[in-house]
Structure 1
Amino acid sequence: MRLFLCEKPSQARDIAGVLGANQKGDGCLRGAGAIVTWAFGHLLEQAPPEAYDPAYKRWALELLPIVPTDWKLEIKASAKKQFNFIRKLLKEASSVVIATDAEREGELIAREILDYCGYRGPVTRLWVSAMNEPSIRKALADIRPGDSTLRLYQAALGRSRADWLVGMNMTRAFTVLAQQHGYDGVLSVGRVQTPTLRLVVDRDREIANFVPKPFWEVVGQFNAEGGVFSAKWKPRDDSLLDDAGRCINEQAARSLVQRATNGQGRIVHLETARKKEAPPLVFDLATLQQEGSRRYGYGAQQVLDIAQALYETHKATTYPRTDCRYLPESMLDEAEVVVTALLQSDSSLQPLRNRLDMTRQSRVWNDSKITAHHGIIPTTSPCNLSRMSEPERNLYDLVRRHYLAQFMPQHEYDQTDVVVKLEGENFVATGRQVKVDGWRDLFPRVTSEDDEESKEGSSQALPVLSQGEVCPVRSLDTLTKQTTPPKPFTEGTLIAAMKNIARFEPNETLKAQLKATAGIGTEATRAGIIETLIKRGFLKRQKRALRSTPTGQQLIGALPELLTAPGMTALWEQSLDEVEAGRLSLQAFMERQEALITKLVQHASGVTMALPQQPSKKCPLCGSPMRKRKGGNGPFWGCSRHPECKGTINIGNNSKRGNDKRRPAAKRST
């Protein structure tokens, strides 16, 4: 009997329903010659250091690095019941169909169970990108060989083990160093979370150290036969400009205004060209998170949770954890069915139907751009909008608009560029006149600070002008402005920075390599990384902005470049892609990681930590900083040099001990 191993109960129910396996069993559904069982995400987790050697219960620099030779997994305490059901079912199965999420982490969830249980029977792979009946039936008719996705497992295993090596060793190393200087807490270090933290720390430092610099603009209003228009001075002398092309010479600006106020301008360049804009691509998860943040202020994790609900609960959209914004050309055949389902789900879209050209093949249909998954689009099945929450409807609406835009005309406008010569200087203006709204009808304008700032440079509605026309100056003004600091990260812009990490790498060789990678983390993990940094006190939310805390800033200052540099982490991700592609073995990847962690531990041994000092006391025996501990009789201050020094001080009223009495240190586990 075939056993289908799913990632979660909802996935199992959907697949079982199509298979006809509707009989409930212990941790499974049976019927029609199949058994469908499920995990709850990861049922297994990497064993802690003390599982390899009890000596590792003690956190100490001399015990590092910890590098397992025979990696161990442990069953999560909350998962033992379901895991035992699966282990029993594996003994009964004639073959296994891996039916977890179709991506690297889904492969790991299934295969770590099979390996742990010692399953050696036939394995195949169900690769499904949408949890509706037509998509499941299509995938069931094209089940893949198990070997076709084995390298996904190896890449995921490499990621998991590399994360463990960095997290366990570096967290212990820098926590011990900080505690020796009186810091009371754990300093979590991670292969991906630490470079992400650095992005925010660097941005916050740039903002804090920013010194505004003045610049000047000269804006003229000119009279033409067709009406009045404005144009801005564009200095020809580079010595007047900064690197961004702004005039930094006030005297030159005011001198021009003084001599040209009553002057006569002449149009020396006038060119109008028809411009066309293709519709935006459909979403991957990162761009959906960015748009959800920009339009609605949703957090990255919130968007992921909503996208997952649209996929699993409402069956309204396809697989969300994708890094691809394109669609297979074969899916163009399903377009009519998708649009029909959209119209059935929401009758308010009906007036749009006659404007859609279902034969249009936009740039989104491109087989060469497809990765493990295609972009996020509506499914071929109608959905019930009334069952969705407002945030779910908002994101679903974004997804469907980006899909429908593929079948609408391009946005077209005429752009007119004008150069007016005045007193030997050039004044430039740009005008835009929309000719075809096209797909832009689907996207109402969002007002934001960024939009407000861009209005200054936006195109105006120019009057009718002619080449060589004389345009008297109506007014000429000098505007004093200042440069502005970069904006703090939001969750959406931080997700974008994590994905497009090459922008932040100064090394040109690394930058070129990074442009071909997926950046820091994956579509599935970035939101969780941000949440982790917030929970651990390294980042904090300020309205829509993300800011680093003093602890986060000083941790980044103490860590080696290899751990904090975004470019280095992205190269690790590139190596994992090499494993997935079969160009690098898992063993070779791990040998690199083991050599690296040894080097990082050696570096840590020479670091002096400088973290925010928490309220502390000096040891009554040796004078070293003390830190709070918990003992059998309550909290107390213990010397940071324990076990070399056993000085302690009681905290609060304690009937069993008097305050400030010296006593042997309590039994502890650091």
Structure 2
Amino acid sequence: MKLVIAEKPMLARDIARAICGKEVSESARLPISGNGYTVIACAGHLLELVEPDAVNPAWGKPWSLDVLPIQIDDWAKEPTEDKKDLVERIDSLLPEAECVINAGDPDDEGQLIVDEVLDYLGYEGEVLRVYVNDNIEKNIVKAFEHLVPNEQCRPAGDAAYARQMADKCFGVNETRLATKRLGGLFSVGRVQTPTLGLVVNRDEAIENHVTRKYYELTATGGCADASGAPVFKFKPDKDMLAGEKHVFDRDVLDAVKAKLDGSGMSFSTVISKKVENPPLPYNLTVLLS
């Protein structure tokens, strides 16, 4: 049989519905077999990078600045505690597989999620890659007609793995450094800390916001058909705004007003009604085609 490993259970059921030749409910238990295929799913990442002290006990607690920086060129992985059973279930299916089809999502992380499990389990058989962009059955069937060798696609997973290691390496080293130098536990992360900084800076900006009065210059016109009085708003140029979003110096607009007072201009225009539909949602199939 051909073992298909999807990234998520929902996608696995969609694939099984398309290629296994049977009715599959939304809550059907995986794996699902039929037509020579067996379909199973991961549940996101099943593995995680091991803690540094699992590689070198000297990197464990109590933390020391003397061992920094911690660097691991080929960071090993292990199943997450809550997903060990799923890893074992996939492992039990591999001996019966004539080949494995990587059906991770069509992105870097999707590639890695399946690759890392196969690497961890030491699978050495043939691996193919399928790119499933949506849950439409005919499109899934078409995708399975265009399988490619998974080895050609692994660089995408390698990129995701590199980001994982970068996140882990940065967090491990900076958390230990900040904790030892500042006292107390300080959790630092490559994504977590800048994101937290954005939130804190925004909160401080809101808390320290000072209300300022700004000025606008408008003119009221008249219509020959007496359909209403249009209001025209003066649009300041960049020099007048001086890097601000509004004009805060009234004297600047008073000078403009003085030049315009008593002047007039006539023009004609045509008003028409137009119906514009809201844009359609993003379509992943179209975006990736």
Shift of 1:97: 0.6
CA contact (8 A) 1:21 1:35 kept: no
Q: Which moved more, 1:1-10 or 1:206-215?
A: 206-215
Shift of 1:158: 0.9
Residue type at the aligned position of 1:17? R
Any idea what the Cα deviations from partners look like across 1:288-345, whole Å, max 9, x if unmatched?
Answer: xxxxxxxxxxxxxxxxxxxxxxxxxxxxxx66xxxxxxx64xxxxxxxxxxxxxxxxx
Distance verdict in 2 for CA 1:14–1:257, change over 3 Å: closer
Residue 14 of structure 1 pairs with residue 14 of structure 2: yes
Specify the alignment match of 1:230 in structure 2. 231
Unaligned runs of 5+ in 1: 285-317, 320-326, 329-369, 375-670
Q: Map residues 16-165 of structure 1 onto 2, 5 A cutoff.
A: 16-20=16-20, 28-58=31-61, 59-165=63-169
Specify the alignment match of 2:4 in structure 1. 4
Residue type at the aligned position of 2:123? Y
What is the root-mean-square deviation of aligned Cα atoms in Å? 3.6
How far apart in 2 are the matches of 1:275 and 1:224? 19
Specify the alignment match of 2:200 in structure 1. 201
SS at match of 2:230: strand
How far apart in 2 are the matches of 1:137 and 1:189? 45
Shift of 1:245: 7.4
Specify the alignment match of 1:587 in structure 2. none
Residue type at the aligned position of 1:31? G
Shift of 1:46: 0.6
Q: Which moved more, 1:36-45 or 1:106-115?
A: 36-45
Higher relative contact order (Cα pairs below 8 Å, separated by 6+ residues):
1
CA contact (8 A) 2:20 2:36 kept: no
Distance verdict in 2 for CA 1:51–1:216, change over 3 Å: same
Unaligned runs of 5+ in 2: 24-28
Residue type at the aligned position of 2:230? F
Residue type at the aligned position of 2:2? R
Greater strand share, structure number: 1
SS at match of 1:17: helix
Specify the alignment match of 2:26 in structure 1. none
Distance verdict in 2 for CA 1:256–1:31, change over 3 Å: closer
SS at match of 1:174: helix
Distance verdict in 2 for CA 1:252–1:177, change over 3 Å: closer
Shift of 1:281: 5.4
Shift of 1:112: 0.5
Q: Which moved more, 1:117-126 or 1:34-43?
A: 34-43
How far apart in 2 are the matches of 1:268 and 1:151? 65
How far apart in 2 are the matches of 1:161 and 1:63? 18
Shift of 1:200: 2.7
Aligned positions, number = 280
Residue type at the aligned position of 1:114? L
CA contact (8 A) 2:108 2:156 kept: yes
TM-score computed with the length of structure 1 as normaliser:
0.37
Q: Map residues 530-609 of structure 1 onto 2, 5 A cutoff.
A: none
CA contact (8 A) 1:27 1:86 kept: no
TM-score computed with the length of structure 2 as normaliser:
0.79
Specify the alignment match of 1:399 in structure 2. none
Q: Map residues 20-419 of structure 1 onto 2, 5 A cutoff.
A: 20=20, 28-58=31-61, 59-178=63-182, 180=183, 183=184, 186-227=185-226, 228-233=229-234, 242-244=242-244, 246-251=246-251, 264-267=262-265, 282-284=280-282, 328=286, 370=287, 373=288
Residue type at the aligned position of 2:218? V
Residue type at the aligned position of 2:115? R
CA contact (8 A) 1:27 1:82 kept: no
CA contact (8 A) 1:5 1:39 kept: yes
Question: Sequence identity of aligned pairs in percent?
Answer: 34
